[in-house]
Structure formats: C-alpha cells, structure tokens
A = this chain, B = another copy of it.
Amino acid sequence: MRQQYYMPTRVIMGKDCIKSNPDIFREIGNKVLIVTGASSARKNGSLDDVTSVLSSNGQTWTIFDRVPPNPSIACVREGAALAKKENVDSVIAIGGGSPMDAAKAINLLACQDISDDNLFSGQYGTEIMPMIFIPTTAGTGSEVTPYSILTNDRAQTKTSLASPILFPKYAFLDAGYMENMPIDITINTAIDALSHSIEGMLSKRANPITNSIAAESIRRISSCFDALKSGKLTLEQRFELLYGSTLAGMVIANTGTTAVHSMGYSLTYFHNVDHGRANGLILPTFLSYISKYDPGIVGSILSIMGYKSVQEFKDVLDGLLGERESLSREEVEKYAAIASKSKNASNSIVIPGMEDLTDILSVALLK
C-alpha cells in the first residue's frame, strides 16, 4: 500500500474572502456555470457575493440550481447538458456536499463523453474546466477532495467518482454564510466531518501526514460539542467547524472512508436519513469493533477528544443525535450485504466481513 499525500487545491479563507479576492475569480474563465441548491445560497448571501464579484469583473454566468440532496446521475447529466449548451468555460459550486459533488460530475460530463457504465470507473481523460468551490456547510470537505458522490440506483447505494482532475482549483472558506444554519444541519454536517477524520485514521491508507491533519481536525470539531448541544454557536465556533471539515477533507482525499460510510449510504438511500447523521449513528459501534483488534489507534482517537472509552464518546454523540432510527433484521442483513460489496468497506485497517457488518448494524440500529 503506497503511503501518499496529495492535495493541490488552493484554499483561501476568512470572513468576506470572496469579496476581497476578485482577481482569483477573474482568472478562472469568462463564462461560468454556477452550480447550487434550490435556495440556501440565495438566503445566506453567498450567491450574491459571487455574482457581484463576477459582475464587477465583467464575467457572465449561468445558474444551475436544480441540485437536490443526494444528486442522481440524471441530475448531473442535466447540468452537463446546460453547461454544453451555454458553452461555459469554468464552474463555481456553492453549497453543501450535494451541489459541490454534482458540480464535479457536471464538469466532467460536460468535458468528456462518458457512458453510465463507465461513470464510476475512474478511467477518464484529462479535460476538465477550472473550478472554484464555496462550501456553505461544514461537513463534506468536497472542496478539497477528488471525489463526487452520486446516488447510484443500479447498485442501490451512493457511489463515488474519483480522479485527481476533480480537485477544485480554489476553495473559499467563509463561515459567515453558516451563521443562520439550522442546528440539526449544523450537527449532522459536523458529525460527517468528524467521521471523515476518524475514518481517515482507521484507513489502511492512513499515513503520518494524514494522521497529523486528522488529529487537528478532530480537536477543532470536538471542541464545539458543547456548543452544538446547546444549539448556540459563535461565528468563531462556526469557523472552527468549517476548518475542521476542510482538514477532514484533506484527510479523506488521501485515505478514503471506511465501512461507516458504506453502511450509512443504505440509511440514506432507503430511509432518507441525512448523510452525516447516518455516519454518526454507526461510528461508535464501528470504533468498538476496530478496538477489539487495534485498541491503540482507537484509544488515540478518543484521547484527542478527551474521552476514556467508546461509550463516553457514544453518549456525547447520542446527546447530539437524539432518538435513533431502527432497522428490521431483514434490513440489517440487506444493508450489510450491500456494504460488504463496497470499496470503502475494504479500506480500513481491519476489514469487516458480512458477519461483522451485520453485528455492527445490529448493535447500532436493530429494532
């Protein structure tokens, strides 16, 4: 297994960083496709900030705002068709994981002819338009990863497109857009980011550089647990969560995720459970499973957060997540079977088999 670290996106950060860096926007192209969700980028001010910079730069743009949560292949093909029709030369994504991941796939499909059969192959050409990514949630880390995760109906799960050409050229981090984000979204996305860093440390592709970044990410995110529980966050804490999630993205860009994500995808695909929440429901049980084989690494992760046991960590997460969803025996077995076929599930330092996956899902979620 090659130990490797690579993350070529240029990250610009701080309050009002979009408005204070028009030159970077000018550089990416003349006609921009802006990919975003239905409304949040309008409400939080990020879309206005971007279009006013583009406008004052004399750039033109087309908005594709038809990205729903957990975007499908049909959605990104629709966006790619618009990109081609409008003859854009660059892409700006604004929003959470769904618009950002969709933007990468739209860009790829606008530049290259790729059949549905080959969409998840990773075997692409080199053509891609330059991209600027502006996360308005602090969870996915997509702004610094080479991944685009789409709903894959054939496999009845979510599957990732992965290629170094999918790294955005620039990421802009401004937690000012998150000040009025509802607390449930804030919690779910924070747990998603935390899960990225923890899963990154449990990945067989973990290395000392990714572990260094993961440790600081876990420190930043867990320092906000009390504020998340109280439901009141300062702007400074919003920035901590955002930096924590970008650092977590830098980790999984190199390590990938684990069976936690594989299993979580079924909760999202079949039960519409939010992605971050789905990870959080499974993460502590997965930690207990790994600790049977490698108590050292699990102990290190817990100690970064100041916990002595997995139970202590689980209690805190449960306090944030509230009442758990529950699954039937049949559902548990079906989702374990789907997860066992995923790439992520074989990516951890201990690889869970069907029986292990069934056990983990049962402990976490069986009725």
Contacts and interface: CB of A to CB of B under 8 A. Distances in A.
Q: Is the interface of A mostly helix, strand, loop or mixed?
A: mixed
A11 interface: yes
A23 to B, nearest CB: 10
A3 B14 contact: yes
A217 B207 contact: no
Contacts of A11: 4-6, 209
Interface stretch (A223-231, A239-247, A294-302): A239-247
A281 interface: no
Counting every copy of the chain, the complex holds 2
B5 A8 contact: no
A154 interface: no
A213 B13 CA distance: 16
Interface residues of A, number: 29
A43 interface: no
Contacts of A20: 2
A81 to B, nearest CB: 32
A6 B243 CA distance: 15
Contacts of A247: 209, 212
A243 B13 contact: no
A363 interface: no
Nearest to A12: B4
Contacts of A216: 212-213, 215-216
A213 to B, nearest CB: 7
A6 B331 CA distance: 44
A208 interface: yes
Interface in A203-237: 207-209, 212-213, 215-217, 220
A7 interface: yes
Given A2-B12, A208-B220, 10 more contacts: A2-B17, A2-B21, A4-B10, A5-B10, A5-B11, A209-B243, A212-B216, A212-B217, A213-B213, A213-B216
